[in-house]
Structures are given as structure tokens and as C-alpha cells.
Chain A
């Protein structure tokens, strides 16, 4: 054999190497960016966390709360996982120059596998076309809100086209292979293997074709399919489709306590203790650093790593926004936009650091104000509908609350009604201007 004979193997190995190289670069960037956030300890209750992940990410339990979208998504999801098994064979074939290398080892089981991949490929095709119809023909409301204009809309459609192309290539490749197996049983390299319940319907296309033509079709589809997948892998970084990977850590690290429980800010606790008890030891509860932290969040770096992971995981499905009472009644607030803004700003901060040798050069912008406005934040009723609705356990409310904290505690910028309410609490122990002594007056009316 000469060098030329190994050319396909070499091209394949280079393609695979490049794909992995860029992909790991992207993964590193994401990890670096997430680490810009504050650390939180979410390593407790390990068993519960695994269960949460198994139920919600693996089991798609929150997806199916909307039955139509849920069902279609499960098909695409299962199809995706199954076809990844096939990918393993394709990679081995590509590297070794073999063809259907697993067939001799798996025997009849191989036929079952290939057959079921085909069935799923066809189901995925149908599901993806229905998804496209929901977005572009039926125009379901949550897909066409303000924050979905431009790239987010294109991204969602591109992925659907991508899937259609990939599935079609997969079936074409199998169909041509079947034609070769049937019409040219002695063709070198092509063994009798696989069951083709779907692509057999493509056979009429291939009738009368020469072996070389069939091989050309089969090979072209094979190469386009695998290079398409390499491309997809590296497209993830720019897309809401990161969720196919991040849904797993995101559900693992999700908040497991009751949704009504909001974090108590520990540095405030120290201060309050000092105020209430002048004899308290100021250094008792980890207060040894003199450095005064700012309260709440104005920038992505003020958020926690979990919140940043949330932002990368967001699927932009808009289930949160469609359940949000503020959004339903025409307010500017959209919990999905909160997540998308957080991700966009985080990416921007990351890119800025890449350009400036790893340190951030002030660009005069902030998450609060330049991306998320006070008007959005003050429209929230803290009802948790968004958190409940999110199929991957994202918590937009926690970001909203932290940003309100910044507005109030750092900038004293609460709406004036709320300032009145708060001074009433301070002075009278109630949000209204009543005298605390009168709290039990109702008892006289019994």
C-alpha cells in the first residue's frame, strides 16, 4: 500500500483532531468564564443531586409537562443519543479504513442496532420538521418575543436545518450501501451487514446505477455526515444547543431547597449582629477580611458560578417567559432575556479578557443597566413560575433578586413607593404607617 491508500485515514484523523482541538478550546473557555463567578457550595446531598439529574436531564421529566413539545423533544433526544453509538463505529471505520467494523462482532444484534438507528433517524426527521413548523408556520408566541430576534431565531432554525441534513445524509449513506450490498454482492469492502427498514425505500433512486456511482454517493454522504457532526460539535459554543451537554451539570447543581427560600447574605448577617449586640465579636463568623464586599450583583462577576452555568445552559425555550405573570401582562420583564443577557455579557467579558492577555479591560459596560434594566427587575413578583417551568432547572429569579439588592443597597435606587414601605418597616415594624402598639387592636372587635 502506498501513502495514497492511507489518504482517507489521514484526512479523517486530521478532521477528528481539529474538531477535538477546537472543541476542547471552547470547553476551556466556558469553564474559565464560569469560574469568573463566585463559588457556592453545592456539593451536599449527593444522592439527591444525582437523582435530580437522572430525573430532569436524563429522564426529561420537566420537558414532558408540555406534552407536544415534550414528546417531540424526547424523540430527538433519544435519536441523538442512539445515533451517537453509531458515531463510535463511524470514527473507528474512519481511522482504520474499515467499513461497518462492528458488524462481524455483533452479528444479528448489529442489524437490530442499525435498524433502530434508521427508525429513529426517520422519527427525528419528522420531529424536527414539526419543530420547524411550530416556529415558522404556527408561530408559537414564546418563540417570537422581542429577545428572540436576530441570532437567537437564526440559531434555532439553523440547528433544525442541520439536523434535517444530517439525518438525510445518514439515510442516503445507508440506502446507497444497501443498493451496493444487493446489486453488487461481491463489491470489495462492502459486506452484507445491517438492516435498513427506512432507507430501503430509497432503493428506487439507485436502480441502474454503476457500482462506482453508488460508492461515490455512499462515500460522499458518509464524509459529509461525519464532518457535519464535527462542525456541530464546534457550533455548540455559539448556540443555545450547549444545553445538550450542560443540562447534566446544571440539574446536578440545581437548588434543592424550597423555592421560597432566598439566600441570606452572610456579610449582612455579621453587620446586623454587630448592630444588635455591640459586644459581638466582629471576627467571629469569618469576618476576618476588612475588605467590604459589594452587595448584590451589577455584573456577571458578581453572580455565582451556578448562575453563570445556568446562563450557558439556557435553551431559550421561553417556557419561563410564557409562564411569567409580568410578561403575560405586557411588562418588559422576560426571565428568558435575563438568562440570555447574562450569557451574552459573560461571553463579552470572556472575549475581552482573551484580547487583553487574560485580564479584563474596562469597556464601560455592565450587565445591570446596559443589558438588564431596572424596569425589568422591578416588574418581578418573585412568584417562581419561571423556576418551576424551566425544563433544565434554571433559576432566573435568583439573578433578579441579586440585582435588586445591588440597586437598593449599593445605589439606593428603589422605587419611591418601596422606599416608603421600607421606612415604615424601619419605624413601625410594618409596611404601612401604623403604630406597632396597635397590632392587636383587632382582638377588641371579637
Chain B
């Protein structure tokens, strides 16, 4: 399976419909790369005309901005915008809610105007349009709880797309005691992913994992590579990693399709 970059497309005189913004975690993090690959397989399967930026992609600047380094953020943003505008990018899909939020909300003012969707939104649309189908029942009847990523849910009001997908998998969606607009953070946002937590009596991901465990799930579904890491660590901490997988929704659909 070949993944084209926008540079290659340009050389061939093609301009793909969608740019898949992979993000730093999706590019480098071992766990997140699995999500990237699963999503790409689904895009291929659905016949989506897409490309990536490859080596021309650079951090959106989200962790710099949330750390207070506005200068570094805007440097990153404007460099990325220059690249994307040169390729006349119109629509972006990303598997990372942090990239999604930054590209969608903070780039326009700096000259980057794109239609930005989260991968769960695109997958839902592909299913609704019949371009993607789920036949196999690997998740049928399974108890699945979904962890709302802060930057998808509260930050941008997207609660339903991931849930619709879980229902389409014939799974039983069970909600945690704080969910949707009151969902508890996994503890990674605001650049916390990259530092040690401040002194306290518990780590946030443990608290959230405990909430997930209360629902007695067969699987924890995530929609963000950082949440995924945080919750996987939480499940490991509870010594449940052998019985309780943490999966991105894209991975679940890819598994159900045996891709």
C-alpha cells in the first residue's frame, strides 16, 4: 500500500481531495503509529483521495502554545500554513484532537483557512455515504466505554461522531460517570504529556481509568493518541492490560474489517 505525499502528487499533477494530517504522535509514537496505519487502511478501503505532507509536516505548535510559548506556536503555525497554502490545501482530516483543534480554530486568524475534520467525523460520513461498510461482528455485544478527548468534546462540541461509530459496530456503549461535556480529562492536555505532574495524591490518568473500570468494559475506546497512551498506562497500572484493550475507534473499525 502506497501513501502519497503532497509533493509527489504535485509532481504528478494531482491535487488530492483531503490532506491527512498525521501529527507528531501519529508519526513517531509506536502506539500512535498503529492508529495512523489503521486509519490509512480505512481511507484506502473507502477509496478516499488523500495524501500526507510527510517530511514537510511539522508540529502544529499546540503543546508550545499551551505551555505559554506563543512565539514558538506562531512560528510553527505560519510555517505550516505557508506549506499548506502553497499546496492549496482545502480539507484536512486528522486523528489527533489537538491538531484538529489548533488547525481548525487557531490557524484561520494566521492565514490558514481549511475545512478541518476529526477522523471519527470522516469515518462516520464515509459509513453514512456507504463508502465504508462494517460487515463483521467482532465487537458485537461487547461493552465499550468511550473516553471523550477534551479537545474534541468540550473544546469543539464533537460528542456524537465517535459514539455513532461504536453503535455501528453493534457494540454496547456504556458511559462513564463523567462523560460528554462533563468528561474527565486523561491528564495529557495542556502539554502535561511532556512533563511530570505537579505534586498531588493521584495521577489524573489513574482517576480516569478507575472511572472507566467502573463501567466494567470489555474495551476502552479512545479518539486521541495522547488519551490512548494515558489510558493504556492507567490500565497497565491496574494490571489489566491483558484483558482490557484500549483502542482507537479507527483501529476498531479496521479490526472489524480485518484490514
Most chain B C-beta atoms within 10 Å of own C-beta, residue among A295, A375, A430:
A430
What is the distance, in angstroms, from A444's C-beta to the closest C-beta of chain B?
Answer: 9
Most chain B C-beta atoms within 10 Å of own C-beta, residue among A417, A432, A440:
A440
Residues of A contacting B: mostly: helix
Query: Which residue on chain B has the smallest CB distance to residue A402?
Result: B68
A328 at the interface (CB under 8 A from B): yes
A261 at the interface (CB under 8 A from B): yes
**Residue contact A295 to B70, C-beta cutoff 8 Å:** yes
B151 at the interface (CB under 8 A from A): yes
Of residues 68 through 88 on chain B, the ones whose CB sits less than 8 Å from some CB of chain A are 68-72, 74-76, 78-79, 82
**What is the bound-complex CA distance between A415 and B58, given in angstroms?**
23
**With A325-B184, A417-B196 given, can you name 19 additional A-B contacts, CB distance below 8 Å?**
A262-B66, A264-B106, A328-B204, A330-B201, A331-B199, A333-B198, A378-B195, A378-B198, A381-B150, A383-B154, A404-B68, A407-B68, A409-B71, A414-B69, A415-B195, A426-B72, A432-B24, A439-B54, A446-B41
Partner of A381, one of B71, B76, B192: B192
**Residue contact A436 to B191, C-beta cutoff 8 Å:** no
**Residue contact B197 to A379, C-beta cutoff 8 Å:** yes
Q: Which chain B residues lie closer than 8 Å to A325 at the CB level?
A: 184-185, 187, 204, 207-208
Contact with A along B154-172 (1 / 0, CB 8 A): 1111000000000000000
**Residue contact A442 to B33, C-beta cutoff 8 Å:** yes
What is the distance, in angstroms, from A367's C-beta to the closest C-beta of chain B?
Answer: 16
Which of under 10, 10 to 19, 20 to 34, or 35 or more describes the interface residues of B? 35 or more
B174 at the interface (CB under 8 A from A): no
B63 at the interface (CB under 8 A from A): yes
Of residues 87 through 108 on chain B, the ones whose CB sits less than 8 Å from some CB of chain A are 101, 104-106
A431 at the interface (CB under 8 A from B): yes
**What is the bound-complex CA distance between A421 and B71, given in angstroms?**
14
**What is the bound-complex CA distance between A264 and B69, given in angstroms?**
11
**Residue contact B71 to A383, C-beta cutoff 8 Å:** no
**Residue contact A275 to B33, C-beta cutoff 8 Å:** no
**Residue contact A408 to B24, C-beta cutoff 8 Å:** no
One of A5-13, A106-114, A174-182, A266-274 contacting the partner: A266-274
**Residue contact A425 to B72, C-beta cutoff 8 Å:** yes
Count of chain A to chain B residue pairs whose CB atoms are closer than 8 Å in the complex: 229
**Residue contact A421 to B191, C-beta cutoff 8 Å:** yes
Q: Which 4 A-B pairs have the closest CB atoms?
A: A260-B155, A382-B190, A404-B68, A429-B58
**What is the bound-complex CA distance between A378 and B189, given in angstroms?**
11
Q: Which chain B residues lie closer than 8 Å to A148 at the CB level?
A: none
Q: Which chain A residues lie closer than 8 Å to B53 at the CB level?
A: 439
Of residues 375 through 433 on chain A, the ones whose CB sits less than 8 Å from some CB of chain B are 375, 378-385, 387-389, 401, 403-409, 414-415, 417-418, 420-422, 425-426, 429-432
Q: Which chain A residues lie closer than 8 Å to B69 at the CB level?
A: 405, 408-409, 414, 422
**Residue contact B195 to A417, C-beta cutoff 8 Å:** yes
Partner of A430, one of B58, B70, B198: B58
**What is the bound-complex CA distance between A403 and B1, given in angstroms?**
47
Q: Which chain B residues lie closer than 8 Å to A329 at the CB level?
A: 197, 200-204, 206-207
Using A260-B151, A407-B68, A432-B24 as known contacts, say yes or no to A443 and B196 having CB atoms under 8 A apart: no
**What is the bound-complex CA distance between A261 and B98, given in angstroms?**
11
**What is the bound-complex CA distance between A83 and B207, given in angstroms?**
45
B10 at the interface (CB under 8 A from A): no
Q: Which chain B residues lie closer than 8 Å to A261 at the CB level?
A: 101, 105-106, 155
What is the distance, in angstroms, from A377's C-beta to the closest C-beta of chain B?
Answer: 9
A323 at the interface (CB under 8 A from B): yes
Using A259-B154, A264-B110, A268-B74 as known contacts, say yes or no to A436 and B55 having CB atoms under 8 A apart: yes
Which of under 10, 10 to 19, 20 to 34, or 35 or more describes the interface residues of A? 35 or more
Most chain B C-beta atoms within 10 Å of own C-beta, residue among A259, A268, A415:
A259
B113 at the interface (CB under 8 A from A): no
**Residue contact A422 to B1, C-beta cutoff 8 Å:** no
Most chain B C-beta atoms within 10 Å of own C-beta, residue among A332, A381, A383:
A383
B225 at the interface (CB under 8 A from A): no
Measured CB to CB, the residues of B under 8 A from A are 1-3, 5, 22, 24, 26-29, 33, 36-37, 40-41, 52-55, 57-59, 61, 63-72, 74-76, 78-79, 82, 101, 104-106, 109-110, 150-151, 154-157, 178, 181-182, 184-185, 187-204, 206-208
Partner of B28, one of A296, A409, A434: A434
Partner of A442, one of B2, B36, B157, B181: B36
Using A405-B68, A430-B24, A430-B28 as known contacts, say yes or no to A260 and B101 having CB atoms under 8 A apart: yes
Partner of A439, one of B37, B55, B82, B182: B55
**Residue contact A409 to B68, C-beta cutoff 8 Å:** yes
Query: Which residue on chain A has the smallest CB distance to residue B149?
Result: A383
**What is the bound-complex CA distance between A276 and B79, given in angstroms?**
8
A258 at the interface (CB under 8 A from B): yes
Query: Which residue on chain B has the smallest CB distance to residue A406?
Result: B68
29 intermolecular pairs with C-beta atoms under 8 Å apart: A258-B157, A261-B106, A264-B74, A264-B106, A264-B110, A325-B184, A329-B200, A330-B202, A331-B198, A375-B198, A380-B190, A382-B189, A401-B66, A403-B68, A404-B67, A414-B68, A417-B196, A421-B63, A421-B194, A422-B67, A425-B59, A425-B72, A431-B24, A437-B55, A442-B33, A442-B36, A443-B2, A446-B3, A446-B41
Query: Which residue on chain B has the smallest CB distance to residue A430?
Result: B24
Q: Which chain B residues lie closer than 8 Å to A387 at the CB level?
A: 154
**Residue contact B155 to A384, C-beta cutoff 8 Å:** yes
